[in-house]
Amino acid sequence: MTLLTPVDLVDPRELGPVHFIAIGGAGMSGIAASYADLGIPVTGSDQADSANLAMLRRRGVTTYVGHDAAQLGGAETVVVSSAVRETNPELAEARRRGLRVWHRSAALAALMLGRPGVAVGGTHGKTTTSAMIAHVLVAAGTDGGYVVGAPLATGESSRLGAAGSPFVVEADESDGSFLQYPAGIRVVTNVEADHLDNWLTSEAYADGFVRFASGATEVAVVNIDGPGGAALSAALVDTPHLTYGTDPGADVLIGDVSHDATGVRGSIRLDDRIVPLSLGVPGLHNLANATAALVVTTHLGIDADRAADALGGFRGDHRRFDPVGVVGGVRIIDDYAHHPTEIDAVLAAARDTVGPGRVIACFQPHLYSRTRDFAEAFGQALAAADEVVLMDIYGAREEPVPGITSALVGDVTASVLGAGRVHAAHSHRQAAEQVAGLARPGDLVLTIGAGDVTTVGPMVIEALTAAGR
C-alpha cells in the first residue's frame, strides 16, 4: 500500500450508481448508508455477511456476499478501501471499463461539500474524539452528520444529517487519506510515529500532520501534551489554531484531574471561564478527547455548559474500554488499543478503576511491521499489567515476516514482570482459558488489539461460567 493522492471531488449525486467493494467495514458501511440516504442507487459486496450488510439491506442497498465482476451491474462509480487489492475481480472490471474509482476517503469527503466540516486526526484517540463531537451535535439538536469508526450509543456509526449542518469525520492518517477532507476545522489529538510501512520515516509521518492541520480554514485544534503535538503547534505559523492539554502553555487548559471507578473529571479553562467536565468513561486520555470535543462544538456555536452536559452522557464507543461482562467478580473489558502509547493509556485507565484487584492484559499484536518497529515499546507498555497473555500476531493485510513474532514483545515484558507472569497463547481458545485460569474476584481483564482478539472476551466469560465462578 502507498500513500494516497487527493482527487477532485464532485457532489455525490453526480456520481451515478455507486458500487462499494468491501462495503461491510465500519467506515465503508457508514458512507454507503449515507449515499443511500441521499437517494443514490447503491450496491456493494463483501467477503462475508454481517450485521452491517443487514443494516444496509434495510436501507435499500443491494448487497452481495463474495466478489464477482458481474456484481458491478450498471455502476458508474466504484468505491474501494485501502485493503482492496487490484486483483479483486470487481476492481479489475471497473478498471477495464474505465469507471470512476474512488478511495473511500474521497467518497466520504464528497459528503462534506457545502457543509461546515470537522476532520479529527491523530495517532490515537481520533475515533473517540470524533464520536464525542458527533454525540454533542446530536444531543444539542443540530441535525449534524457524521461518519466515525465505531458505533455511537445509538448503534450507528454514520448519520447524513441536514444540508448545511456540521459534518464530522474520523480522518485516517495511515494511508495519507486524511489530506482528502474539505474540513475547515481540523483536530489533531497527538502525533507519534506509526504506519511506517507507508510513511517510511517518523519525520515524513509528522510532516503529514503539518500538512493536514495547515489545511484548516477556520481553526486547527491541537493537543500539545507530548513532543509531537508541541512541534506541530510550533509549525502552524500561518494557520489559526488553538492548543489544549495539561501543559501550562495550552490555550485551553485541563486541570483539577481526578479519577475513580465511574470515570474521570477535570476543570477546563475555556476562554475566560472554567467549564467542569465529568465523564462516565475512564482515563486522562478521554478527558483530553472530551476537551477537544468541547473546543470544537463551542466553536460551532453550541453553549459550553450544554456541550459539557452532553459529554457527561457519553458512554464510549465500540471497542474503546468497552465492557464485555462480569462473572464471579471478574470484569472483562475490550479495547482497540494497538500502539504502545494506546496500551499505556488503557492500562492506566484500568488501574484507575480496578481498585485493589489486578489487571490482566490479553494482547494480540497487529501487523508484523508494527510489531517489528515497536516491539520494545509494546513490551514495556504491557509491563504495567499484573499478568499478560500474549497472542500471535494478527497480520491483517501483511504477509508474515521471518523472525517477527509475539515473542519479541513477550521477552521485553518478561524482563520487567518476570517470565512466570507472561503467557503465550497460540489460539483464541487457549488465550481465553489462560485468562480465566489467572483471574480472581476483583480482577479486571483487558482484551487488547486491533485484530480479532475481541472474540476472546466472550470466551473468557464462558470459561469462567463453566468453572462455576
Cell of 247: 501543559
Residue 352 has what pLDDT? 83
- DSSP, res 177: G
How do residues 279-310 score in pLDDT, each as one tens digit?
988 889 899 999 999 999 999 999 999 999 99
Cα 236 from Cα 223, distance rounded (Å)? 13
Backbone angles phi and psi of 100, in degrees to 5: -70, 125
Answer yes or no: 217 catalytic.
Answer: no
Tell me which of 170, 192, 342, 433 is the catalytic residue: 170
Residue 310: closest CA among 133, 87, 130: 133
Ordered domains of the chain (ranges, CATH)? 12-102 (3.40.50.720), 112-312 (3.40.1190.10), 322-466 (3.90.190.20)
Task: Report helix, strand or coil for 255.
Answer: strand
Residue 357 has what pLDDT? 92
Residue 83: other Cβ atoms inside 10 A: 15
Residues 6+ apart with CB under 8 A from 101: 77, 78, 79, 80, 91, 94, 95
* pLDDT surpassing 60 at residue 1: no
Residue 319 has what pLDDT? 65
Cα 230 from Cα 206, distance rounded (Å)? 11
Residue 1: other Cβ atoms inside 10 A: 14
How do residues 211-237 score in pLDDT, each as one tens digit?
999 999 999 999 999 889 999 999 999
Question: Phi-psi bin for 150: left (phi > 0), alpha (psi -120 to 50), beta?
Answer: beta
Cα 187 from Cα 414, distance rounded (Å)? 37
- DSSP, res 22: T
How do residues 118-149 score in pLDDT, each as one tens digit?
999 999 889 899 999 999 999 898 999 999 87
pTM: 0.77
**How confident is the model over 183-197, as a mean pLDDT?**
89
Residue 174: pLDDT band with limits 50, 70, 90 = confident
Residue 74 has what pLDDT? 95
* pLDDT surpassing 70 at residue 318: no
Cα dihedral 357, 351, 128, 329 in deg (nearest 10): 0
Could you tell me if 379 and 347 are in contact, meaning their C-beta atoms sit under 8 angstroms apart?
Answer: no
Report the amino acid identity of residue 307.
Answer: A
Tell me which of 63, 127, 189, 298 is the catalytic residue: 127
Answer yes or no: 455 catalytic.
Answer: no
Q: Sign of dihedral through CA atoms 426, 127, 198, 378?
A: negative
**How confident is the model over 397-425, as a mean pLDDT?**
92
Number of H helices, E strands in the chain: 15, 21
* pLDDT surpassing 80 at residue 193: no
Residue 153 has what pLDDT? 66
Residue 259 has what pLDDT? 84
Residue 274 CB burial class (10 angstroms; 0-12, 13-18, ≥19): exposed
* pLDDT surpassing 90 at residue 261: no
How do residues 323-337 score in pLDDT, each as one tens digit?
888 998 999 989 888
Planar angle of CA 291, 193, 334, nearest 5 degrees? 60
Cα 444 from Cα 37, distance rounded (Å)? 42
Cα 387 from Cα 434, distance rounded (Å)? 10
Measuring CA to CA, how many Å separate 49 from each of 25, 147, 151, 369, 442?
11, 21, 18, 29, 38
Task: Report helix, strand or coil for 210.
Answer: helix
Cα 436 from Cα 469, distance rounded (Å)? 10
Report the amino acid identity of residue 417.
Answer: L
- Percent pLDDT > 90 in the chain is 74
Tell me which of 93, 123, 126, 405 is the catalytic residue: 126
Cell of 318: 465500540
Answer yes or no: 126 catalytic.
Answer: yes
Cα 158 from Cα 112, distance rounded (Å)? 13
